[in-house]
Amino acid sequence: DADVTQTPRNRITKTGKRIMLECSQTKGHDRMYWYRQDPGLGLRLIYYSFDVKDINKGEISDGYSVSRQAQAKFSLSLESAIPNQTALYFCATRTGDNYGYTFGSGTRLTVV
Amino acid sequence: QKEVEQNSGPLSVPEGAIASLNCTYSDRGSQSFFWYRQYSGKSPELIMSIYSNGDKEDGRFTAQLNKASQYVSLLIRDSQPSDSATYLCAVNTYNAGNMLTFGGGTRLMVKP
């Protein structure tokens, strides 16, 4: 099983719908992140969490919300999806400052 | 000025050659540096980390760090077509709350 699991892998949804992307990890890391990746724009940070009670906005948090249900689970919600939220979304975990991120396999989201 | 900059490429090299990928960063306080490989539509995979000035070798990969000049590079020896991917440079940026800041990536194409 993958260390960082994202569901769903692919999702097509309609404008205005609420959608949740889920992330779970078995690595025991406290730090979890949500990124989106768009062609030409690279990886951009949406939200991050350093523990269950610590949630922080990233550079592009508008239109998104998150929930850290447990150390191992970090969900990203789009309250009312819009087409420019079509992107590849990655969850990542990290154990400390001097370590890299471990990424999940990603969710390809299309908003029509 | 972007915090982490990479030439977007594509960088095209023949099979068996050395591929040289470069990255510059702006935060002089950065201490941890990472290289990720990302195949199209897949998640980034950590391939190298480096923390001290100089070279660090791992198989066909060598990471080089020069903190005074604020650049980090990745050399891939004996390049193979399977090395064709986008390579992302990531820097632990203290000014950004100890986040990893990613460059836009360099697309490498290794031609048989």
Question: Are residues B92 and A97, on separate chains, in Cβ contact within 8 Å?
Answer: yes
pLDDT tens for A36-91 read 999 878 899 999 999 999 999 998 999 999 999 999 999 999 999 999 999 999 99
Residue B101, CB half-sphere, CA atoms under 13 Å: how many? Answer: 21
For the CA atoms of chain A, what is the radius of gyration? Answer: 13
End-to-end CA distance of chain A: 32
Query: Does the beta-carbon distance from A100 to B100 stay under 8 Å?
Result: yes
pLDDT of B1 reads 62
Q: B33 and chain A: CB distance < 8 Å anywhere?
A: no
The arithmetic mean of pLDDT across residues A2-28, rounded, is 95
Q: Is the pLDDT of residue B96 over 70?
A: no
Q: Is A12 exposed, middle or buried (0-12, 13-18, 19+ CB in 10 A)?
A: exposed
- CA-to-CA distance for A106 and A92, rounded, in angstroms? 9
Alpha-carbon distance B3 to nearest alpha carbon in chain A (angstroms): 13
Q: pLDDT category, A21, cuts 50, 70, 90?
A: very high
**pLDDT confidence band for B56 (50 / 70 / 90):** very high
Cβ atoms of residues B19 and B35 within 8 Å:
no
At residue A42, the pLDDT reads 87
Average pLDDT, chain B: 94
Q: Which residues of A touch B90 (CB under 8 A)?
A: 100-101
